[in-house]
Amino acid sequence: MSTPFNTKCMLYLTSVLILSCMKFVLATNFYRDFDILWGNGRGNILNNGKVLMLSLDESSGSGIQSKRAYMFSRIDMQIKLISGNSAGTVTTFYVASEGDKRDEIDIEFLGNLTGDPYTVHTNIYTKGKGDREQQFRLWFDPTTSFHTYTITWNPFMIAIYVDGTPIRVFKNMESSGVPYINELPMKVYASLWNADQWATRGGAIKTNWTEAPFITWFRNFKARGCVWMNGESTCNSGSSKSINQDWYKQKELDLSRNEMLKLVQHKHMVYNYCNDFNRFPLGLPQECH
């Protein structure tokens, strides 16, 4: 016969085991991690929370927002983009704070005609100011299978990766007077919407609504970060393991990834604001130097 003490121990161990299993099973769960922000039924969570589908038709697109906010994070999302004619559409995956003086790290996929490549449009906002666009052509077809897109944001640098390959780095240059993202917590967003006034060839190619609904798929969301709780980052409170992880301590790319970054920017970058002298006739932004 079990004593009350042994019974309590068994119940505790059982509950720990159940919680551990739940953590494993629920590692990726859009029900748990996100709210459908808009779309009136055009965003759907499927397969017991493992898959997200966002759709766009002539009436509306759709979007989601993470339940948690982060002050520094590594965010991974696997995405399969709209196949066929996606001209005029924009699929987004980004992190952003709230308010007019928002901070934001953007990845936007600009659709195109069938057979033409997507353009990956990136931008970084600090204190409500963006204008830091870099654009790339993907070196694979992002519509036939899922690929992993990553945003890493720590006290030293911001980096954007595609399947583990860095495509963009923005370092903390506050010591030189360049604002950095380190004051406001940011949530994770994904959306699908129509922007045919500018998205494809500067708006020359419009969305073909006869091919709607347009659908983008998301899965395997992972967030390793400093969660914002009760007005404080868990990293500051000492209750987070994130501060001991490589992504948090990284001050620059290692040699091999730096070579990968140079190669991608040489072969696949199609626009860099730091080379646009017409846009900045009074001088390029300070970080470009």
Q: What is the predicted pLDDT for the residue at 15?
A: 38
Please report the pLDDT score of residue 28 as a whole number. 77
If one counts every other C-beta atom within 10 angstroms of the C-beta of residue 126, the result is 23
Distances (CA, A) of 244 to 23, 240, 249: 21, 9, 7
- What are the Cα distances from residue 134, in Å, to 33, 107, 149, 195? 29, 10, 16, 18
pLDDT at 250: 94
Token couple for 262: 């140079």
Bridge partners of residue 188, in order along the sequence? 95
Q: Which domain holds residue 58?
A: 29-280
- With respect to residue 24, please indicate whether it lies within any of the assigned structural domains: no
- As annotated, the active-site residues are 104, 108
Task: For the chain, give percent helix, strand, coil, nearest 5.
Answer: 25, 40, 35
pLDDT at 240: 66
Domain total in the chain: 1
Count CA atoms within 13 Å of residue 251 on its CB side: 1
pLDDT of 289: 86
Contact 196, 207 (CB under 8 A): yes
pLDDT of residue 14: 38
Query: Residue 80 in contact with residue 95, Cβ under 8 Å?
Result: no
pLDDT averaged per 10 residues in sequence order, the chain, 289 residues:
40 36 54 97 97 98 97 97 97 96 97 94 96 96 97 97 98 96 96 96 95 97 92 77 83 97 98 97 93
Please check whether residue 220 lies inside any domain of the structure: yes
| The predicted structure's pLDDT at residue 4 | 43
- In the block, residue with structure tokens 């397969």: 47
Q: Tell me what pLDDT residue 235 has.
A: 86
Quick check: 33 and 67 in contact, CB under 8 A? yes
Residue 14 belongs to some domain of the structure: no
Residue 2 maps to a domain:
no
Please give the sequence-ordered ranges of beta strands (E in DSSP) within the chain, or none if there are none.
34-38, 43-46, 51-56, 62-80, 89-96, 104-110, 119-125, 134-137, 147-153, 157-162, 165-171, 186-194, 214-229, 232-233, 269-272
Residue 15 lies in a domain: no
Note the pLDDT of residue 236: 81
* CA–CA distance, 140 with 147 (Å, rounded to integer): 10
Q: Give domain status of residue 183, yes or no.
A: yes
φ, ψ (nearest 5 deg) of residue 227: -70, 140
What does the pLDDT read at residue 169? 98
CATH number of the domain to which 161 belongs? 2.60.120.200
Residue 4 lies in a domain: no
Query: Under a CB-based contact definition with an 8 Å cutoff, are residues 95 and 153 in contact?
Result: yes
Residue 120 lies in a domain: yes
